[in-house]
Amino acid sequence: MILKKPMYAWYAIYTKANGEKRISMNLKEDNIECYLPLKKTLRQWSDRKKWIEEPLFRCYLFVRVSHIEFFNVLNMPGVVSYVSFGGQPQSIPDQQIENIKKLVEQQEREVILSRENLEKGQNAEVLLGPFKGMQGEVVKICGNYRIVIRIETLGCSLYANVSRDEIQVLRRKRFDSQNIKHTKSPNYRKKRTIYADSLS
């Protein structure tokens, strides 16, 4: 009998306030893969200043689990629930987690967490700089280009500034309308190719 390999996926979990680091440690001790994005913050005390690491997403962290570990996470002290839509836990693509790591873990550029509804950008690849190799969405705001990672699961976005020379717009896949079935016009045969516009 051949046993199927468990399928793993990333999920966001909602935690009790100020418990993210402790929960992350407990998950790792139970051999459950997790990721807690951290940001450095300069704190002022009466006698000194000190850089500390705080959770980037307060009351949230990410876990990569299969059906085997799924309910073990919920039994962890401090874990409230999985982030769900329509009553179903929402999985997160591996590439999105990798992009978050690339943004957060580099030290050269400031990364901004925004809950504003940013305008739709264009798909692009970063060719140079600390985000080299990342594919994401690029928007132009107030004359600055920004690489954006939208995290719909948490209702927010991460972005950082990039220069125009560091990015290359990705063209959309070519498609032939001859291969598309049209309900109203089944005999439509006109061909056309659509590409993304260049950033200006």
Is there a single domain that holds both residue 99 and residue 165?
Answer: yes
159 and 119 part of one domain: yes
How many structural domains comprise the chain?
2
Question: What does the pLDDT read at residue 1?
Answer: 53
Domain match, 163 and 200 both: yes
Specify whether 56 is located in the same domain as 36: yes
42, 68, 92: which is the final residue of a domain?
92
What is the predicted pLDDT for the residue at 70?
Answer: 95
Q: Same structural domain for residues 102 and 193?
A: yes
Cα 128 to its chain centre, rounded Å, is 20
Residue-wise pLDDT for 3-57, tens only, equals 677 899 999 999 999 999 999 999 999 999 999 999 888 777 777 888 888 999 9
Q: Please give the residue that has the higher pLDDT: either 187 or 74.
A: 74
Alpha helix segments (H runs only) across the chain: 20-29, 70-74, 94-105
Give residue 40's pLDDT. 82
Token digits of residue 132: 């080299």
- Residues 175-197: pLDDT tens digits? 443 443 433 334 434 433 333 34
Same domain, 127 and 42: no
Output the domain CATH number for residue 58. 3.30.70.940
Domain span at residue 17 reads 1-92
Do 50 and 120 lie in a common domain?
no
Assess whether 37 and 126 both reside in one domain: no
- DSSP states along 146-193: EEEEEEGGGTEEEEEEE-GGGEEEPPPPP--GGGS--SS-TT------
Q: Which residues pair with 63 in a beta bridge?
A: 11, 34
- Note whether 187 and 173 are same-domain residues: yes
Given a cut of 70, whether residue 81 has pLDDT beyond it is yes
Q: For residue 35, give the DSSP letter.
A: E
CA–CA distance, 176 with 165 (Å, rounded to integer): 32
Averaged confidence pLDDT in the chain: 81
Do 87 and 98 sit in the same domain of this protein? no
Among the three residues 68, 92, 116, which one is the final residue of a domain in this structure?
Answer: 92
Identify whether residues 113 and 67 lie together within a single domain. Answer: no
**What pLDDT does 181 receive?**
42
Quick one: pLDDT at residue 18? 93
Strand, coil or helix: what is 70? helix
Residue with more model confidence, 75 or 135? 75
Binning pLDDT at 50, 70 and 90, where does residue 73 land?
very high
Contacts of 18 (CB under 8 A, 6+ apart): none
